[in-house]
Amino acid sequence: MKNEVLKRLYLVFAGFILLALVIIWKVFNIGILQGEKWRKEGDNRYVKFKDIEAERGNIIASDGSLLATSLPYFEIRMDLNAEGLVDSVFKKGIDSLSLNLSKHIDRSKSAAQWKKELSSARKKRQRYFLIHKDVNYEELMLLKTFPILRRGQHKGGLIVMKHSRRERPFKMMANRTIGLYRSDAPSIGLEQAYDHVLKGETGKQLMENVGHGVWIPVNDLTDIKPKSGKDIVTTLDINIQDLAQQALYDAMTKHQAAFGTVIVMEVKTGAIKALANLGKVGDDYWEDFNYGVATATEPGSTFKLPVLMAMLEDKKYTLEDSVDLNHGAERIFYGLRMKDAKPHRFKNATVQETFEISSNVGIALLADRAYSPNNGGTQFIDRLKQFRVNEPTGIDLEGEAKPYIKNAYDKKQRWGKSTIPWMAHGYECLMTPLQILTFYNAVANNGTMVKPYLVQEIQTIGEPVMKFGPTILRNKIASDSTIAQARRALEGVALRGTARHHQTEMYTFAGKTGTAVIDYATPNRVARKKYQASFVGYFPADNPVYSCIVVINDPSGAEFYGSLVSTPIFRAVADRIYQTDPAFHKILNTGIQPVFAINDLPAHGAGYKDELIKVFDVFGLRIRKESNGQWAMIQAAEESLSLQDRPVEKEHIPDVRGMGLRDAVYVLENQGLKVHVRGLGKVQSQSLPPGTKPTGQTIDLMLN
């Protein structure tokens, strides 16, 4: 008996041990091995808080115009299994609801179709039936008045999901600079660079999982309200941006170029007033890439300015020194051939003339003699680094390409004997248009290099919370003497050199043309040479306000030089800015105002008294009001004006001399007279004398 009992106890005990092991295994398997899976499964069931995106801040132009804003739209769905949506309510309101949806929300469906779909969804107990994916605020307010839906979420099944759509009111204008905000892909432009400011703080809303991954809000209101993003105010001038983009588009279509850019900068501050980019997309042009900031190419002849300044700074030459150009004929530099773009009249020329006509051979010969012997390359590169052409600008946009300036005698960077002559006219180095402009802007700014920037202020509901001003990158890139000579050389380009045909009497400008070969045709390849045309400069030359660069890549046809392709765009932009910007024009009435003589005052005018007084108030003129009647005349006295009565009586023809035509006709026709008018202006004379009795006669008025 004892052994039998023990066997049974052992058997039960073993069963408990086995069960415990199974439980331990299940706990380990579910909690550890499959823990992540079941935790995710738990998260996806029932209810949880989900993020609600905040209203994104606006991007604003310097004049207050909206460049990018978020417009709300609403996705409308219906919970046809809502707790309070009983059959009696549904049956009573379905016909009217269907009719309203067909009439006001989606006319592609008849009322009968709406009723059929809603009734079918009701039978299937659908909790997320789509009414419309995109309605505006006015349509939403109308929807909330419809039968059934006006009962709200729990009693009427109305589900409203708010979303925002990013809109750019000016469409393509500054499209790439403003950028794109994309929740499912990386943003670009200012949208990306200032995302942390614009995006705001997300809110929280309790959501219920109704199956198949569909989440609906538990309450109509968010549990934690999102906090809207701040606005950013850019330096972009909408008028300058518009004219820069239009001038660029006209040139691109004329020359059928690959891509181009125009940048306008404020000389003293570095504020970017316009940044236009166009690339060929199909048969037309679009802002498909920020070429001005993100594309570094061999700059060509615009790089001759830092080379010239390096030689001037090192006292290698003066602008009056002479160089043998041999009329631009071919010259050999360490086995490589070089010649000027066109033959010219200069056998010998000064350094100034060499720069003005943009002689490749001349500038290369000067640089080679100045720096090639005795390890002079180090001195040359050090000067370029002093000018900061080897560093990015640091503009407040992502994606700025780095400039490429070789280290002296670095064989890994393929430094050779021919490097200096070729760098001298803009090859074997890379710079973006913005980096080139920043350097030229420093020359215009008397040697002070400022950082280009696009955002000047951050606002909340129109109130500034942070302001950004000019940032100095280098107080002085070169000596005053070098800067003065550089500006003289640039002015010479506009007066006598490659840009001389684009002079204007309205203002002066200075700058440099550039033409770079970007794709050579080889004997084995029939392809044509490709060029990049550019012009960079500033205006007015004596007191620069704006600097500007124009780069056109691969213009087709016979015209490909910077002087023919890019300089006209610079002129078009500069002309419009000069014509429309009050800063370029003198105010005419700033001096002491003269004392008016009697015959200069607006005497002898007459008309309706209240309107005369209003005119004088608008123009800030003081007048003595000595008239008590409805009609008055202006009387001039010594350095003053007064209003005197002009009697108008029904029994006599009035004196309408000095009145405007409207007042005169009103008064005379009220007397029963027929009025005949000749001339323009105020009434000078009338055919019937004042005081005559009116009997329905015709009166002739002579205006002058």
Taking only the tens place, the pLDDT of each residue in 644-681 is 778 888 788 888 888 888 888 888 888 888 888 888 88
- For residue 680, give the 3-state DSSP assignment: coil
Q: Is residue 195 classed exposed, middle or buried when 0-12, 13-18 and 19+ CB atoms within 10 A define those classes?
A: middle
Averaged pLDDT of the chain: 86
- For residue 25, give the 3-state DSSP assignment: helix
pTM beyond 0.85: no
- CA count, 13 A, side-chain hemisphere, 46: 4
Task: Give the domains, in start order, of the chain with CATH numbers.
Answer: 49-232 (3.90.1310.10), 241-583 (3.40.710.10), 596-646 (no CATH), 650-704 (3.30.10.20)
Predicted pLDDT of residue 225: 74
Taking only the tens place, the pLDDT of each residue in 491-508 is 999 999 999 999 998 899
Predicted pLDDT of residue 620: 75
**Strand-pair category, 698-703 with 455-460:** unpaired
Q: Percent of the chain having pLDDT more than 70?
A: 90
Taking only the tens place, the pLDDT of each residue in 243-295 is 999 999 999 999 999 999 999 999 999 999 999 999 998 889 988 899 999 99
- Is the model's pLDDT at 183 over the cut of 70? no
Among 57, 42, 46, 450, residue whose Cα is nearest residue 270: 450
Lowest mean pLDDT, pick from 58-62, 68-72, 460-464, 590-594: 590-594
Q: Is residue 470 classed exposed, middle or buried when 0-12, 13-18 and 19+ CB atoms within 10 A define those classes?
A: middle
Taking only the tens place, the pLDDT of each residue in 65-114 is 888 888 888 889 888 888 888 889 999 999 999 999 999 888 889 999 99
Taking only the tens place, the pLDDT of each residue in 523-567 is 454 455 789 999 999 999 999 999 999 999 999 877 888 889 999
- pLDDT bracket for residue 359 (50, 70, 90): very high
Taking only the tens place, the pLDDT of each residue in 389-411 is 999 999 999 999 999 999 999 99
Predicted pLDDT of residue 461: 84
Predicted pLDDT of residue 44: 52
Predicted pLDDT of residue 521: 47
Answer yes or no: are the C-beta atoms of 366 and 338 closer than 8 Å: no
Spacing of C-alpha 515 from chain mean position: 28
Structure tokens at 622: 């003081």
- pLDDT bracket for residue 159 (50, 70, 90): confident
